[in-house]
Structure 1
C-alpha cells in the first residue's frame, strides 16, 4: 500500500456503544495498525435532538478498555481537527453552496404539508413518492424559479433545504473491498437533503466533507450504510474529489432466528451487548457490560474479530498482535455473523488460561477483600494456579475454591450418605496421625505417606480419599486433595478432619 491509510470510526453519541460498533472500530484499528496507518475517532453529533450525555466518554472508555485506542480524536488533537462535527459546522455550508453553484444541488422550498400531500396522492395510486428526476421540475424548488425569485425567497428567510441533484438515467459502477463490484441505476435514487432548514448538514454531506478534509483513505463501516454508497460516490464525483475505498461489514445477527443483534436479545438471553456497563442518564436503568460481567478485554476482542472474519486456518485463539498480523479486509465475510453467547464464554475461558497470573491474582484479591478476607499475594497466587484450569471468570475462583480461605461448616448431604460410613471416623483419625508425622508438609510427601498406608491397610482408595476430601472441602469438588491440604497447612488440615469426625 503506497499511502499510509487513514481510517475513522465515526459513531453518533446517541446512546451506548453496541458490540457491533466495537467490531467496526476493531476492524478499522486492525487495518490501520497492519498497514502503518492512523486510526481516527470522529464524533458525529450533528443530530442534537438525539444526543445523549456522557456517550462520548463512554465510547472513549470502551475503546481504551478493549485495547484499541484511537490515534487522533477528541482529546488527542492531530492536524485534522476538531473531531466533533458540532465544532465543525461552520465548514459545511460552503461545500453545499459549491454544489449549488456547480448545478449538482438545488434549494427546495417545499413545506412538510406539501410533501405529505404528494406522498398521500402517490399512495392512493399504489405508488411510492420519491423526490427525484421524475417530479423535481414540478415541485417548489430553485430548478423551477429564476435566480431573482430564489434570492428573494432566501433573503425573506423562507424555510428551505438543499437537495442533491441525482443523475436521471445513468448506470453507476460501484466497488467494495468486501462485496466486490456492484451496479446501481441512478433513476431509483432520491434527491437526498444535504443541508437542513436548521442550518445543520445531514449525515451524507458532513460525512463526505469530513472524510475528504481528514484525508480518509478507507471507509470501513457497517452494512446498514451500503444503500448510501451510490450517493456518496456521486458526491465525491460532484466535488471532483478522489473517493476513498469502501468496505461494508456484515451485520452481527441474533443467536436465534433472523435479524440484527439487539439490546433486547441480551436482556432476554442473559448476555451483555455493550462493552461496559451503561447507566441511562434519563431513566437511570443499567445495562450490563462485558467488563463488569468479568470478561477479559482480550477475549472480547478475539470473539468480535471472528464475528465476520477468520484467517482461513484452524487457529482461533489470537492475541491483538496476532490479529493485526493476520487481518485482511478482503477476507471479511459478506453474510451476517450469528452471535453465540456460549462461544463467547469459550473465548473467555481460553484467554483466562493464557492470562498473566498476576492479573488473576489481583482480580481474585479484590474479591477476597470485598468478603473481608485478608491473604498474602503469594498464597492467593498458589490457589489461582490450582484453580484456574476449571475457571471461566475470575469470580469462578471463589465459587470453586472458597474452602482455601474458610473451613466448611456443613457438608454435601448426598456425599455424606454415600461415603461416610461407621468406620470412617476411625479411618480419618488414622489419617490425622499420618498428617501429624509428615515432614516436610507438602503435597508430594503427604501423598506418598497416605498412599503407602492405604496400600498396607488393604482399604480401597475411595474409602479413604473421598472422606478426606469431604472433610477439607465439604463437598466432592476441587483440585488434588494433597495440594489442598498442603496449601491450607498442617494445622488447618487436622482441624478440619477433626471437625468432620465430630460433626459426622
Structure 2
C-alpha cells in the first residue's frame, strides 16, 4: 500500500512551499487509496519555535490537508494517533541509538572528534584550492581502542556516515529520471550530533523505513542529500522508497520564494481572506499540470486528476495576480449567506459596521456583501471598499468636474434632492423609481443621468451597482453629499 509522509520541522510559520509538499503527498495518498502521515522532525532543538506544531496542524486542517497518522490537537493537548509512532523525532532517540550502533558494527559509520575550529580550517584550505568543502576523513581510521579512550576522557564527538571511496551511487527520481553521484564528491555526513540527537539525514531514513514509507515526495533542495540517504538504505539492506523531488516555487525574479519578497506564510494568506479552497487550488498548479485546460478544481477533483508523472522539472513562479484571480472566482461563486459568515471579521474592521448591525440589520449587511462581491480578490478587500464609500469628504477630479458641468445637472440635482427627501428608507427599488421619474418627467437619461448621480453620491466615475450603493449610503448621507455639492 502507498504510504507517504509530510515531515516538517517546527521552526515557525508554514511556508507556501511546505503547504504544496504536504498537498502533493496528500493528493497522491488519496488517489492511490494509501495513507498520508504527518511526522514532526524536531531533532534540531536550537531551531524549535514554541507553538509552531499547533500552528502547523491548524494550517493543514484549515486547508483540508488532514493526515490519518501523526500528531493531532485534542483540546489543549497534542495527541499522537497511529501504529508507527512516536511521530515526533525527539521522542524516538532510543530508536536512533539502536540503529546507529548497527551502522557502526557494519563499519558504515565512525566516531569523529574533530573540533569546529579544525573543521573550519579544513574547509577554508579546500576553498582556497578550489575544492568542494567537505570533511577530510581524519577520524575514519581511528581504532576501536582510540575511540573508547577519547570517549572515556570526555572528548566531544559526532558520528559520521562512512561512505565507500570512489563509488557510484544512483537512484531514479520520478520527476528527473536517473540521478548519478560519485561518493568522492560527497561528504561523510554527520549522523549523530554532539548533543546525542540525530541529524535529519539519519533520522529521516530510519523513520521512513520503520514507518513503511513507499514514496518520498519533497522539495528539490533535498536532491543533493538523497545519495547519502540511498547509501544508508544500502548499508541497512533496506528496500528503497521511490523518490519525487518537486521543483522550487519562485518569486517574480525567478529566485526561490522567500520572505524578503513578501508574504510566504500560509497563515498570512488566510488572515488576509484568501479562501483555503482557492489557495489549495492555486498551489496545486505550481509545478503540476492536469491533462486538460481547466484551472479551477475542488479537492476531490484534484485527487482524481493528480498524477506524479505530470509534475514539472522547472520551477513555477508564484504569481500573486493569478492567485487573486482564482480567489475572486471562489468568492463570486459562494452563496451570499456563507460569504457574510466568512467576511464578518473583516466588516468589523471597517470604520462603519458595528457588531450589533449583524443582528439588527442583517439585510443591510447582506446588501453590502452582495454589492462588493464582484470586486473582491480577498475577503479583506471589503475593508477599504466600505471605508472609501463612506469617506467624509469627496474631492472631484477634473473629469468629475466636467461631468458636473453638464447643462442638465442643476435640474437633476434639484429633482434628486426632492425625491430622496420624500423617502422613508432608501432601497434599490425606490432609487429605481426615482430614476424612472427623472427619465420620464424631465427627459434626463443615460449617461446624463447616471454619471452625474454616481459622481455626486460616491465621488467615483465607475463602480458597483449604483442603486445598491445609494441604498447602502442611506438617506442622510445622500442628502448631505448632494447639499454639499449645491453649497460649493
- Which band: TM-score by shorter chain? 0.7 to 0.9
Q: Is the 8 A contact 1:408 1:474 kept in 2?
A: no
Partner of 1:45: 42
Change (3 A) 1:112 1:381: closer
Q: Output aligned runs, 1:14-25, within 5 Å.
A: 14-25=11-22
1 CA distance for matches of 2:240 and 2:220?
18
Give 1:222 shift. Answer: 0.7
Partner of 1:285: none
Partner of 2:111: 107
Aligned residue among 91, 98, 105 for 2:95? 91
Change (3 A) 1:457 1:200: closer
Q: Deviations over 1:390-413 (max 9, x none)?
A: 222233335445688x59764635
Partner of 1:179: 176
Q: In structure 2, the residue corresponding to 1:255 is in which secondary structure? A: coil
Q: In structure 2, the residue corresponding to 1:97 is in which secondary structure? A: helix
Partner of 1:338: 317
Partner of 1:373: 353
Aligned residue among 406, 411, 431 for 1:426? 411
Aligned residue among 274, 299, 323 for 2:265? 274
Structure 2 residues without counterparts, runs of 5 or longer: 72-78
Partner of 1:221: 218
- Within the alignment, does 1:348 sit opposite 2:327 as a pair? yes
2 CA distance for matches of 1:402 and 1:163?
61
Q: Is the 8 A contact 1:42 1:73 kept in 2?
A: yes
Give 1:100 shift. Answer: 1.4
Change (3 A) 1:174 1:381: same
Change (3 A) 1:459 1:316: same
Q: In structure 2, the residue corresponding to 1:290 is in which secondary structure? A: helix
Q: Deviations over 1:38-71 (max 9, x none)?
A: 2222221111222232222222232223232333
Q: In structure 1, the residue corresponding to 2:70 is in which secondary structure? A: coil
Q: Is the 8 A contact 2:250 2:256 kept in 1?
A: yes
Q: In structure 2, the residue corresponding to 1:191 is in which secondary structure? A: coil
Q: Output aligned runs, 1:136-155, within 5 Å.
A: 136=137, 139-141=138-140, 143-145=141-143, 147-155=144-152
Q: Is the 8 A contact 1:438 1:446 kept in 2?
A: no
Q: Output aligned runs, 1:305-344, within 5 Å.
A: 305-344=284-323
Give 1:331 shift. Answer: 0.9
1 CA distance for matches of 2:178 and 2:43?
32
- Within the alignment, does 1:248 sit opposite 2:245 as a pair? yes
Give 1:329 shift. Answer: 1.6
Q: Is the 8 A contact 1:471 1:496 kept in 2?
A: no
Give 1:467 shift. Answer: 2.8
1 CA distance for matches of 2:125 and 2:422?
98
Give 1:429 shift. Answer: 3.3
Partner of 2:74: none
Q: In structure 2, the residue corresponding to 1:379 is in which secondary structure? A: helix
Aligned residue among 208, 211, 217 for 1:211? 208
The normalised TM-score by structure 1 is 0.83
Q: Is the 8 A contact 2:171 2:180 kept in 1?
A: yes
Matched residue count = 474
Q: In structure 1, the residue corresponding to 2:216 is in which secondary structure? A: strand
1 CA distance for matches of 2:318 and 2:256?
10
2 CA distance for matches of 1:497 and 1:200?
70
Q: Is the 8 A contact 1:472 1:496 kept in 2?
A: no
Partner of 1:283: none
1 CA distance for matches of 2:178 and 2:310?
15
2 CA distance for matches of 1:121 and 1:369?
62
Give 1:438 shift. Answer: 9.9
Give 1:239 shift. Answer: 0.9
Q: Deviations over 1:237-273 (max 9, x none)?
A: 21121121111111112212x421211111xxxxx11
2 CA distance for matches of 1:62 and 1:387?
28
Partner of 2:450: 465
1 CA distance for matches of 2:388 and 2:66?
40
Q: Output aligned runs, 1:259-270, within 5 Å.
A: 259-266=255-262
Give 1:202 shift. Answer: 1.5
Q: In structure 2, the residue corresponding to 1:322 is in which secondary structure? A: helix
Give 1:477 shift. Answer: 3.5
Q: In structure 2, the residue corresponding to 1:172 is in which secondary structure? A: strand
Give 1:224 shift. Answer: 0.7
Q: In structure 2, the residue corresponding to 1:291 is in which secondary structure? A: helix
Partner of 2:75: none
More displaced stretch, 386-395 vs 118-127? 118-127
More displaced stretch, 95-104 vs 372-381? 372-381
Change (3 A) 1:442 1:198: closer
Q: In structure 2, the residue corresponding to 1:40 is in which secondary structure? A: strand
Q: In structure 1, the residue corresponding to 2:171 is in which secondary structure? A: strand
More displaced stretch, 412-421 vs 427-436? 427-436
